[in-house]
Amino acid sequence: MSTTKNIFVLGGVASSLGKGIISASLAKLLQARGFSVTIQKLDPYINIDPGTLNPYEHGECYVTEDGAETDLDLGHYERFTNEPTSQANNITTGRVYQNVINKERRGDYLGKTVQVIPHITDEIKRSIKELGKTGKYDFVITEIGGTVGDIESLPYVEAVRQMRFENYQNVAVILLTYVPYLKAAGELKTKPTQHSVKTLQESGVQPDIIVCRTEYELSQNIRNKIALFCNVPPSSVIESIDLDTIYEVPLKMQEEKLDVEVLRKTRMPINAQPQMNVWKDFLYNIKHPTSTVSIALVGKYTELPDAYKSINESFIHAGAYHSVQVKIKLVQAENISVGEDLADVSGILVAPGFGERGIEGKIKAIEYARTQRIPFLGICLGMQMAVVEFARNVLKHEDAHSSEMNPNTHYPVIDLMENQKSVTNMGGTMRLGAYACQLEKDSKAYQAYGAVHISERHRHRYEFNNSFRREFETAGMKFTGINPDNDLVEIIEIPEHPWFVGVQFHPEYKSTVVSPAPLFLHFVKAAMEYDQKNT
């Protein structure tokens, strides 16, 4: 197809209505009809990217193949579509202004006064069109963060208005709103949606489709009322009712004919029906597990589940594959009580993170998993602390630590490899994005992946200090995954343990509905076997 269609998804009334899930669900339905689709997120905050944001502020920082630190919604996009995203899929106001200021400093504007319109909006439009210019996509879905009426979002809305004016037939706008239920009145109220649409109209944008987030079903009268006051046909009023799992949303949107409405608005053929059988099978397994297994997630940000979004979703994918419900027990590392918090679980995952807070609690959890022979998976910092725990309690180096956490340690088993610097970010250097890893054939990792050569995504600054590798191997810890380009340790295992694996990378980033992360599949299986053995 010669022309890429642009679909914009905006939010009204309130934040956190699920624009990312609606965008991902629409992409899945279009993809299931045979169209090529990608999704991008425009975030209105001034940060250049989420890399410097505390997880409590913005949830998980999701990393793409090319090493971009992005919004967690890109994880939803990949999990639903099974297609990788990139730096071009996440743009922030900070990056937009940075690009414009750089152009101004170079003299690209030839002395003109640089203004929000047209220069900022032109840069936004350039970013939006970048993916479409590749020629790979029939549809580019663009989710705009924030809520209609926010000062921060106005330049993005203006860019949408301009794009629609310039190329009306190839642009459609979806507004996700909230239809609240007033218990005292005993009815749903459409006025917030009406006001949200009017606010959008004041900016020169008329929505083509209105998706109504609601806790109760919308009657035909309610749909007709919204349609009348908001200038759309009743078929373009889509109900998005609360569901048990986000993975039901694509099927609900198919039932509501969201994809059909989009195809109509963009003048695209409506021939093939979406092929959703694999998705339906996956959803059936989620809703009809044959057993349950409890796994502890030991981390620093357990008060906010979105901080570990990809890990949580990876457990859902692996659980569906095994027809088991994985019950995640969130354990705060900072005040962990090993005997109480870990006594009733069949697996222990020690999560990634930055900084010293909660480190000793993570080390206690790892010691418990190792000595009690409970299946263990350590991710990034979790793997590094597994090395520290082994050095302290097996090798008897009591002051063993990361040189970041304790610069005065005599046994810096985790150290900054100055000669391996990669991407400069967050005031330092990090390994970000996909890196190769070569596996030992007799390892748990090889059993999981079924291949010697793999590639996984990274987000970290410190590495295992190879000076101590021989001492560790002699004592029983094996290094079963190595980066072939620079000899850095990627995977550690304890072969005498039933299942003890630590990885420097983030396997959760690549887990999708149709392709669950191999390590999570085998970790959940090991937890199931432990549960059966000890029940």
Q: What is the dihedral of CA 146, 245, 343, 504, to 10 degrees?
A: -60
Triad 447, 448, 453: Cα angle to 5°? 85
Q: Please say if 458 is a catalytic residue.
A: no
What's the CA gap between 120 and 146, in Å, rounded? 18
Question: For helices 73-81 and 19-32, what crossing angle results, to 10°?
Answer: 20
Alpha helices in 291-337 (DSSP H): 309-322
Asked if residue 308 lies in contact with residue 509, where contact means CB atoms within 8 angstroms, the answer is no
CA dist 307 and 353 (Å) reads: 10
Q: Are 365 and 381 in contact (CB under 8 A)?
A: no
> Rounded CA gap, 155 and 163, in Å?
12
CB 44 within 8 A of CB 157: no
State the catalytic residue, choosing from 69, 490, 508, 522: 508
Secondary structure string (H, E, C) spanning 217-235: CCCHHHHHHHHHHHCCCHH
Q: Which amino acid is at 232?
A: V
Number of neighbours of residue 241 by Cβ within 10 angstroms:
16
CA 377 to CA 362: how far, in whole Å?
A: 12
> CA dihedral in degrees (330, 333, 337, 341; nearest 10)?
20
Phi then psi dihedrals of residue 445, to 5 deg: -65, -40
Q: Is 65 a catalytic residue?
A: no
Helices marked H in 107-190 — which ranges? 121-132, 154-166
Identified catalytic residue from 119, 317, 506, 522: 506
Q: How many CB atoms lie within 10 A of CB 403?
A: 16
Tally helices (H) and strands (E) across the chain.
18, 24
For residues 491 and 523, is the Cβ–Cβ distance under 8 A?
no
Q: What is the largest CA-CA distance in the chain?
A: 75
Task: Identify the burial level of 490 via C-beta atoms within 10 angstroms of its C-beta, where 0-12 means exposed, 13-18 middle and 19 or more buried.
Answer: buried
Alpha carbons 379 and 401: distance in angstroms, whole number: 17
**3 state SS of 326:** strand
Nearest one of 204, 203, 216, 210 to 229, comparing CA atoms: 210
Which position among 60, 380, 389, 456 bears the catalytic label? Answer: 380
Lay out the sheet containing 463-464: strands in order across.
Answer: 401-402, 412-415, 463-464
Annotated catalytic residues are: 380, 506, 508
